[in-house]
Structure 1
Amino acid sequence: MIRGTWSLTEPLVPVNVPATMVRVGREKGLQQDILLKNTGITEEMLADPTARLTYQQLLSLTENLIRNYPANTLGIDLGAAVNINQYGMLGYAILSCADIRSALQLGLKYHSLIDPAFTFEVVEQQQTTAIRLTTHIPLDHIYRMLCDVFVVNFATLGRFLTGNNALQPVEVHLNHPAPDYIDVYKEYFDCPILFDQPRTELIVDSGYLDLPLIMADQATAAMAESQCAEILARMGPKEGIAAKVRRILLSNPGQFPPVDVVASQLATSTRTLSRSLQEVGTSYQRILDEVRKEMAIEYLRNSALPIEEIAALVGYSDPSNFRKAFRRWTSHAPSYYREENE
């Protein structure tokens, strides 16, 4: 399960980045039909700039790419391959920003236009600033790949936007053990690269944020941001009160806060929150059950974790209660989702 405002089954993901994923795979000799197997993605969809995929399709494509990629450096290769053009109108707006700080602020505001599950934050201090990945994916192989994508893509985009190919972070922190391709990171970073860190982030000199962008244009930036706002507004119903509740629940998988705590975080009362959810045809318990169900199915399909551990990860201390709840959610036992992939 991924932290953020998203849905597995709604077409929210622009085709640009998935198309780049397919291109990177094909450049490594992989056949397109292997990459698209069981994804429901067609060649016509990849060629249509207006097409949007579901997050389940993106996850299936990612699994196919990881499973068949002939090297361990997929995340690094993708991070280098995704350029500002793949960001669509948001990329155009970023390209026209005055400096790195405003580009990051724009990215924070409109990142869901590119990937509704991707989140990051900027923690600015006096001497240094952390540009930090905050997306959580409990599937280790996908999360590790995303960490590599994040640090390489943000670094290469910063160099492209400023026209300074020598631009380097102070440090690179990665929230996974050191892999067997450490030397490949050194092709992109001439700075300390630290593994097994609490979080994945680029630590940059705070002066980096004030660097001007070479294609800065105030009028173009304003026009492009206005169009981003219009696109986001059209996606609005998908990011209403139910999505906000989901975001809070997903921020701490396995330790789901009670409804009164969620209401407090949304600066409202429990009664008002319950009424607002009722107006859109749902409830706190229903959203919680949906989150638990989606998390459990993903763990069952994509990991070898025992049922007891999966139960704990979705907030059940008693595996028998988890099994009963799971059957209520899906009409199947948890083993059903394991057996279908065997």
Structure 2
Amino acid sequence: MIRGTWSLSEPLIPINIPATMVRVGLEQGLQHADILHNTSISTSMLDDPTTRLNYQQLLTLVSNLIQHYPSQTLGLDIGGSLNINQYGMLGYAMLSCADMRSALHLGLKYHSLVDPAFTFEIIEQEQHCAIRLTSHIPVDAIYRMLCDVFVVNFTSLGRFLTGQADMQPIEVRLNHPKPDYADQYQRYFDCPVLFDQPRTELILNPSLLDMPLIMADQATANMAESQCAEILNRLGPKEGIAAKVRRILLQNPGQFPAVDIVASHLATSTRTLSRSLQELGTSYQRILDEVRKEMAIEYLRNSGLPIEEVAALVGYSDPSNFRKAFRRWTGHAPSYYR
């Protein structure tokens, strides 16, 4: 395995958040036997703070919850149930930061202590700030659920950390089609919630990043961050290999390097790179398609460029091939996003 990847079989995930997921299911009438089926997780493990799960266990647990949960709002319900305590030492460190910006950047630095398979970006501009989800989970139903968890939980944590119960994003953007339960987002947001977007993100007023946290304490924050760094060094999970491939592809949009070139950038062989991505349930081509899809939707929504130019910008010399690929990626023709 390439150094710096996360694995389906390594015990990297603290039990705190999976235990909350189980609790949410139980509160809706599910049984332990159904939730924990084929996970090799016992009920005693859920109460043991030293327990760490591997990613295959977590994926199976989430699949069981999706299968048996009595409504489609599982992600929203989990996002609303997670509190800062479930983030362990990272949560304690964020709680003590001076302001929201510091807390977000700390979360960005140590997110893999909570979940190594996703990360987020903070995009600061003059008019607005975007907190953007990046995930490489190859199962669509689980990815959509994670999007719901992300937008709800980041918002609820911001309200808790600042003491501002009415804090709202400017917009919530979700990278999946409008679901049947779309009205349920209004339980958490008093702002537009948009679907079929290029990416999942929260759009904020930049002034929110400067809001002080109600439990700020610099000495405590320094101590907690030091412990986060120690834990991260001990466990070893860094930026996942899928995230590294994605970052390389985004460095030269429209001129995407072949897989062997990407492998050389990562100081590994094409075979080793392919095997590492396969272990995660993805591939170079799938990540490339994800990047192309996001870029294409962005161009279609936010520019007046003709289809031929959009196709060229995402690496297609033949517009008809681009149209076929775009329909395969999204289920829609490019004109749908105009």
Q: TM-score, normalised by structure 1?
A: 0.76
- Aligned equivalent of 1:230: 230
Alpha-carbon distance between aligned partners in 1 of 2:175 and 2:230, rounded to the nearest angstrom: 35
Counterpart of 1:203 in 2: which secondary structure?
strand
1:117 matched to 2:113: no
1:117-156 → structure 2 map (5 Å cutoff):
117-156=117-156
Distance 1:31-1:294 versus aligned 2 partners, 3 A rule: same
Deviations 1:250-304 (A, max 9, x none): 667xx8843444444x5xxxxxx35xxxxxxxx55223224235527xxxxxxxx
Code of the aligned partner of 2:275: D
Q: Distance in 1 between matches of 2:136 and 2:279?
A: 17
Identify the residue that residue 29 of structure 1 maps to in structure 2.
Answer: 29
Query: Are residue 287 (structure 1) and residue 273 (structure 2) matched?
Result: yes
CA distance in 2, matches of 1:207, 1:33: 47
What is the distance in 1 between the residues matched to 2:130 and 2:166? 19
2:259 alignment partner in structure 1: 258
Q: What code does the residue aligned with 2:76 have?
A: I
Cα RMSD of the aligned pairs, angstroms, is 2.3
Q: Which residue of 1 aligns with 2:161?
A: 161
- In structure 2, what is the Cα distance between the partners aligned to 1:224 and 1:86? 15
Secondary structure of the residue that 1:134 maps to in structure 2? strand
Q: Judging changes above 3 Å, is the alpha-carbon distance between structure 1 residues 112 and 257 closer, same or farther for their aligned structure 2 residues?
A: farther
Amino acid in the other structure paired with 1:215: M
Paired amino acid for 2:108:
L
In structure 2, stretches of 5+ residues that fail to align are 250-255, 289-338
The 2-side partners of 1:90 and 1:294 are apart by 25
Task: Please tell me the residue identity of whatever aligns with 2:259.
Answer: P
Superposition misfits of 4+ residues, deviation over 3 angstroms: 243-247, 249-252, 255-264, 310-315
Kindly state the Cα deviation for residue 6 of structure 1 after the two structures are TM-superposed: 1.5
Matches of 1:215 and 1:61, distance apart in 2: 34
1:109-140 deviations in Å (ceiling 9; x for gaps): 00000011121100000120000001132321
Distance in 2, Cα, partners of 1:314 & 1:174: 19
In the alignment, which residue of structure 2 is the partner of 1:214? 214
Q: Mean Cα displacement is larger for which, 62-71 or 184-193?
A: 184-193
Which residue is 2:6 aligned to?
6
The equivalent residue for 1:71 is 71
* Alignment partners' CA distance in 1, 2:127 and 2:60: 41
2:246 and 2:273 map into 1 onto residues whose CA distance is 11
**What's the CA shift for 1:314?**
8.6
Q: Is the 8 A contact 1:118 1:135 kept in 2?
A: yes
Secondary structure, aligned partner of 1:151: helix
Equivalent in the alignment of 1:93: 93
Distance 1:247 1:256 in 2: 15
Contact 2:15 2:49 (C-alpha < 8 Å) held by counterparts: yes
| TM-score (normalised: structure 2) | 0.77
The number of residues matched between the two structures is 278
Indicate the residue corresponding to 1:170 in structure 2. Answer: 170
Is the CA contact (8 Å cut-off) linking 1:74 and 1:145 kept in structure 2?
yes
Query: Residues 194-218 of structure 1, C-alpha deviation per residue, up to 9 Å, x if partnerless?
Result: 1111111000000000000000001
Write the mapping of 1:244-255 to structure 2, written as runs, cut at 5 A.
Answer: 245=241, 247-249=243-245
Give, in whole Å, the separation in 1 of the partners of 2:285 and 2:184.
37
CA contact (8 A) 2:245 2:284 kept: no
**1:320 maps to what in 2?**
none
